[in-house]
Structure 1
Amino acid sequence: MIPLSQLPVEEARSVRIILSDIDDTITTEGVLTASAYTALERLQRAGFLVIPVTGRPAGWCDHIARMWPVDAVVGENGAFYFRYDRQRKKMEQHFWATPEELRQNRARLDAIEKEVLSSVPGSALASDQSYRLADLAIDFCEDVPPLPEAEVDRIVAIFERHGAQAKVSSIHVNGWFGDYNKLSMAKTLLGDVFGLDWEQARNSVVYAGDSPNDEPMFAAFPLSVGVANIHDFEHRLKHRPAYVAKGHSGDGFAELAELLLAARG
């Protein structure tokens, strides 16, 4: 990973779209700081498309799409995208699964939840689970004392034994049924809403993230950036970001924003 300060100006100037994880990438220790929020607002006002791509739930994503200075949001690790049309005052929603598939998958996830909570002491249902529509989030350090890495791996193994996908974020293990992830829904959003084919997207996007559930995005986009805390997960990553910020979490995101704004002039 190359220090972000060494990103060529010409490469920074090619960026038109900022896709970014939220937890510990835009936020810092669970808090959306003034500097990170200001970075989002400055980027959007400068004409960039700004799109969070997160594991957070549908309930939160409705709020983010409506009230943050963003152009859309991908949530629950790719289960859907939401876009709020401010002129028409209408929320646009697109889901990977049908309502019936979501209902069937929830029953299967409920069984996994029971097994994880009974088998992995110290784990807990994520506090935002009641706002989720498509996935199951198991907390291993957000609102509980941090679990050892071996216990996090046990949670992943239980999901996978049931045939579910499982991804580790900086705070949760997220699991779901369906052949999608952050990347597949981001591609759908960029094509459906913004009319970008894949080559256009790859050459105009920067992705910022911090943890293993960002790997599909790191692998897909030539210009990808990890905030400094990506080093905590480096041993888990097969695909690392091309660049790494000096700043941790939201400070790293603000560092990226400043660089892009300066390059645009």
Structure 2
Amino acid sequence: MRPVTEMPDEVKRQLIAVFADIDDTLTTDGRLPAASYRALEALHEAGLHVVPITGRPAGWCDMIARFWPVSGVVGENGALYFSYDAEKREMRRAFFATPDELERDRARLQAVKARILSEVPGSAVSADQNYREADLAIDFCEDVPALSGEEVRHIKAIFEAEGAVAKVSSIHVNGWFGAYDKLTMTRRFAREVLGVDLDAQRERIVFCGDSPNDAPMFGFFPHACGVANVTAFAGEMEAEPAYVASSKGAEGFVEIADAILSARTAEIAA
């Protein structure tokens, strides 16, 4: 991981989109500061597609797609995307699974939940679970005393033993049934909403993230960036970002956004 200051200006100038995780990337200590939101707005106003790619629930995604300065949002680690058309006053919603499959998988996840809560004392179902459509989020540090790394790995192992996919974020272990991840749905979102072939244009997109569940995105985008807290997972992820900010969380995202915007502003001035 190289400092974000080493990203070439020519790369920043040819970008068409900035995708970003939310928790501990756009936020710090669970809050979205004004500077981070201003950075999102500045990127959007500069003509870039801004798209949060998050593990947060469908209920949050509906609000984000409707009210934030974004082109849409991919949620629940790739289970869905929402995009709001302000002119038509219409929300576009797409899911990986069919309604019948979602209902079946929710029932299966109830059994997984019971096992995790029994075998890992101190773990809890995430407070945002009621707003989820497709996955089960187990809280290991957001609203509960932080669990150990061994306990977090045990939660992930239980999901996998029950046949589910499991990803560890900075606050939750998310588990689901289905062959998708953040990258799978982002590729579909780019094609259906942005009209962009992600494979052909990945050199022109920056993804910003902070934790192991961002690894598919880090590995796919050649110019992916991490905020500084990603360094805590060095050597533990399947893929790491090409660049890293010097600051953690929201301050790190602002640092990345400013670097992109300054290069583009300099080009216009020239």
Query: Is this a same-fold pair by TM over 0.5?
Result: yes
Give secondary structure in 1 for the equivalent of 2:18: strand
Shift of 1:196: 1.2
Match of 2:268 in 1: none
Match of 1:225 in 2: 225
Shift of 1:258: 0.5
Contact 2:11/2:204 (8 A) holds in 1: no
Q: How does 1:1-265 map to 2 (within 5 A)?
A: 1-265=1-265
CA RMSD in angstroms, aligned pairs only: 0.7
Runs of 4+ in 1 over 4 A off after TM superposition: none
Unaligned runs of 5+ in 2: 266-270
Contact 2:159/2:165 (8 A) holds in 1: yes
Shift of 1:195: 1.3
TM-score normalised by the chain length of structure 2: 0.97
Contact 2:19/2:207 (8 A) holds in 1: yes
Unaligned runs of 5+ in 1: none
| 2-structure distance, mates of 1:148, 1:173 | 13
| 1-structure distance, mates of 2:154, 2:196 | 39
Code of the residue aligned with 2:190 in structure 1: it is: L
Aligned sequence identity (%): 55
Give secondary structure in 1 for the equivalent of 2:173: strand
Code of the residue aligned with 2:179 in structure 1: it is: D
How many residues of Structure 1 are paired with residues of Structure 2 in the alignment? 265
Give secondary structure in 1 for the equivalent of 2:187: helix
Shift of 1:198: 3.0
Contact 2:140/2:146 (8 A) holds in 1: yes
Shift of 1:10: 0.7
- Per-residue CA distance 1:52-108 (angstroms, 9 max, x = gap): 000000000000001111110000000000000001111000000000000000000
Greater CA deviation, 198-207 or 250-259?
198-207
| 1-structure distance, mates of 2:252, 2:13 | 19
Contact 1:79/1:181 (8 A) holds in 2: yes
Contact 1:190/1:201 (8 A) holds in 2: no
Shift of 1:204: 1.2
| 2-structure distance, mates of 1:220, 1:19 | 12
Code of the residue aligned with 2:8 in structure 1: it is: P
Contact 1:80/1:95 (8 A) holds in 2: yes
Contact 2:83/2:91 (8 A) holds in 1: yes
| 2-structure distance, mates of 1:239, 1:79 | 21
- Per-residue CA distance 1:201-239 (angstroms, 9 max, x = gap): 312110000000000000001010000000122232121
